[in-house]
Amino acid sequence: GAGVSQSPSNKVTEKGKDVELRCDPISGHTALYWYRQSLGQGLEFLIYFQGNSAPDKSGLPSDRFSAERTGGSVSTLTIQRTQQEDSAVYLCASSLGANNEQFFGPGTRLTVL
Amino acid sequence: AQSVTQLGSHVSVSEGALVLLRCNYSSSVPPYLFWYVQYPNQGLQLLLKYTSAATLVKGINGFEAEFKKSETSFHLTKPSAHMSDAAEYFCAVTQYSSASKIIFGSGTRLSIRP
């Protein structure tokens, strides 16, 4: 497919466990974004990768959250020692450049019990 | 710093009525502006975008938005609402002159009454 893909689509985990969420951006897109959408909330920016530049991590809510992007393509968002308040839909988006429209993936719904 | 304010977390209109979703932005430099739509249980998709080429922007599904610099607004309109328009709508802003992330508004849920 030509769109942004994310896996898994759903993840249920126990409090305290670590989780990894994966994002495959559209081929050729240099910018990649992670957002969090909690129930009844808007889109909360988490982290932004642009090419080979240092990522903008200003939106990560705590040091339990981290993300990496390997080879300028696939990205993994890791949440360590998950808490119930981490339950949300995690959305990934990519774009041709920083100011171009973002194409969103379907999201990963994370539920922390 | 850039920001986006969407007035009204929930808007309800009758089928066939005018849809008006309000968005005001704050930006120290000329912005790029976007409207995204999220249908129930689906991802976000771009409705339309303003990139300084024309102040009136037409998007998909009959939606349009007008950039008004004097009012720092980018309101979304549709002349006649359809039941299928029920969704969450997000306004977003970024700067065209530098590489920066897109800032999203808090969203407006649009309901359509039969």
**What is the DSSP pairing of strand A88-95 with strand A65-69?**
unpaired
Residue of A nearest to B10 (CA): A40
pLDDT of residue A69: 93
**What is the DSSP pairing of strand B108-113 with strand A43-50?**
unpaired
Mean pLDDT of the region B78-105 = 83
Are A33 and B98 in contact (CB < 8 Å)?
A: no
Are A107 and B43 in contact (CB < 8 Å)?
A: yes
pLDDT of residue B59: 94
Residue with tokens 């990522």: A55
Mean pLDDT of the region B81-91 = 95
pLDDT of residue B31: 82
Given a contact cutoff of 8 angstroms between Cβ atoms, the answer to whether B44 and B31 are in contact is no
The residue ranking higher by pLDDT, B106 or A99, is B106
Q: How far apart are CA B80 and CA B114, in angstroms?
A: 13
For a pLDDT cut of 70, what percent of chain A falls above it?
Answer: 96
pLDDT of residue B88: 94
Mean pLDDT of the region A3-16 = 95
H or E stretch including B26?
A: strand B19-26
Are B101 and A48 in contact (CB < 8 Å)?
A: yes
Name the minimum distance, in Å, from the CA of A33 to any CA of chain B. Answer: 8
Are B107 and A43 in contact (CB < 8 Å)?
A: yes
Q: Phi, psi (5° rounding) for residue A84?
A: -60, -30
**What is the DSSP pairing of strand A5-7 with strand A19-24?**
antiparallel
**Paired tokens of A56:** 């903008």
Mean pLDDT of chain B: 89
Nearest to B96 among A56, A99, A103 (CB): A99
**Paired tokens of A21:** 């969420």
Rg (chain B; Cα; Å): 14
Least confident among A41-55, A79-93, B5-19: A41-55
pLDDT of residue A40: 65
pLDDT confidence tier of residue A100, bands split at 50, 70 and 90: confident
Chains A, B: CB contacts under 8 A, how many?
A: 49
pLDDT of residue B63: 97
- Segment A20-60, tens digit of pLDDT: 999 999 998 989 999 999 876 778 889 989 888 888 888 89
pLDDT at B97 over 80: no
